[in-house]
Amino acid sequence: MKIRWTKGMRGAWSALLLLAGITGVSKGYAEMDIQDFTLQNGMKVLVVHDGRAPVVTHSVWYNVGSMDEKPGKTGLAHMTEHLMFKGTKTYPAGVMDKMVQRKGGVLNAFTSYDFTAYYEKVPVTELEPMMDIESDRMSNLQLSDAVFQPERNVVAEERKLRTDSDPTDRFFEQVMRRHFPHHTYGHPVIGWGADIQGYTFEDAMDWYKTHYAPNNATLILVGNVTADQVKPLAEKYYGKLPAEDVPERVIPVEPLRTAPLEYIKIDPQVQVVGWTVMYRTPSQFQGVAGAPVVAGEATGLWVLSEILGGGSTSRLYQELVVKQQLADGASAQYDVVRAGESTFDISVQPKETVTADTVTDAVQTLIDDLLANGVTEEELQRAKVSIKADEIYARDDPFTSLYRLGMWVTVAGAVADFNTWQKELDALTVADVNALARKYFKPEGRTLSVLAGNTQQLGKLKVTKDQ
């Protein structure tokens, strides 16, 4: 749900808030003022006014990502992202890039498990041409097998450079595959190498024609514009596109399991041991194993991640890095906004002379203490202030605002509920946080993963046998 800013700025801002006694910032302290409307073809439009500079970030978010892919066809969402830059009859390949760059703007795209998004940051005066180009390629891509084959090779090479040649990335692909064996979160966004080589131009075109439609997309603009200014342009360019028969999105469910998982491997290329434990947790939109979502739990887990591993004052850092001097770093991360269930991750970077089993025992001791004694009121209030500081500061970055809002709406979040977390945060109690820790930090929901360079670094831990 959040994109962290640097710990120095974050810590200084939090300290100022604490010194000022601001543990309960006034209502709306970090609310985003969102204007929204829907075109007749079903396309949603969101506008966030930011008048500090004469620029606007124009983006289109499609409600489709790698989560929606079928076995054997992984990577099609990312492949289509590449193909979207191959041009239309009106705007051939390369024209869009040159238009944006000549105006001093930037453009890019990204694919995730839950969405695919395209954006251009340009002067406000160039907004209309961006709408023209983006709406054109929503339905008029000029593709052929002669275009597809070289680009597939580009994607295959991208995978080799970014994943296949990196032992850590290779390892964590396999970790996710084991943590989510029945869920599409278990396959990589870029796709498995064999799938990239196996799918065809027809597969890519089918993906494009099935999912790229105005009624499966959201137009989001952040910058020096208002909804009144945007609406006639949106109707002119996007409103003319017909709605399509888009299949209803099916969110996969990972069944419950009865025992913890371990994935422990040796790779001689690794110099520094990687140690991570993941717990199965709900997101804002799906409970564990498809259980109903309980209001406030995602916000409570967000707070818990801040208490356990949100910086140098967190429990993990203080215990493992400062007091016991077992690690060079320790942190916790929790993703609030996901279409499927989420994970609560604890990561530790052991010191060179510390074995992985020592870290495992130390972290489990810390978790046991948390479950037995809970968090304190002081920790809770400090975490709340830190989160509020993050969110206030994030408003200074239009792209952060854009990204957070885009994630929310593409996983089916209602615009009216976007700021609900603030009320949930203010209402959260020590008892709430402690109950969440006991509910979700269970052995059967845990996946331990360790990647080391040799067996000596593992201590008593045993290498996982390949199945």
User: Which positions are catalytic?
Assistant: 81
Beta strand pairing call for 261-266 and 342-350:
unpaired
Residues 241, 261: contact at Cβ < 8 Å?
Answer: no
The arrangement of strands across the sheet holding 44-49 comes to: 34-38, 44-49, 217-223, 55-62, 116-123, 106-111
User: Both tokens of residue 33?
Assistant: 């003022």
Amino acid occupying residue 448: L
Instruction: Report the candidate in 162, 258, 175 with the shortest Cα–Cα distance to residue 450.
Output: 175
- Report how far residue 110's alpha carbon sits from residue 410's, in angstroms, rounded to the nearest whole number: 13
Asked whether 316 and 366 are in contact (CB, 8 A), the reply is yes
Distance, in Å, from the CA atom of 103 to the CA atom of 461, rounded to the nearest integer, reads 57
Asked whether 151 and 208 are in contact (CB, 8 A), the reply is no
Residue among 449, 279, 265 nearest 360 (CA): 449
Which residue stretches of 31-166 are H helix?
Answer: 76-83, 95-102, 127-139, 145-159
Q: CB–CB of 459/358 below 8 Å?
A: yes
Round to whole Å and give the CA distance between 339 and 359: 32
Amino acid letter for position 286? Q
CB atoms within 10 A of CB 423: 12
**Number of other residues whose CB lies within 10 A of the CB of residue 466:** 6
* DSSP-derived secondary structure letter, 296: T
First-to-final CA distance of the chain: 36
Q: Which two tokens stand for residue 26?
A: 């006034």
Category of 454 on φ-ψ map: left (φ > 0), alpha (ψ -120 to 50) or beta:
beta
Q: Which two tokens stand for residue 319?
A: 């215990």
DSSP code string of 223-275: ES--HHHHHHHHHHHTTTSPP--PPPP----PPP-SS-EEEEEE-TT--S-EE
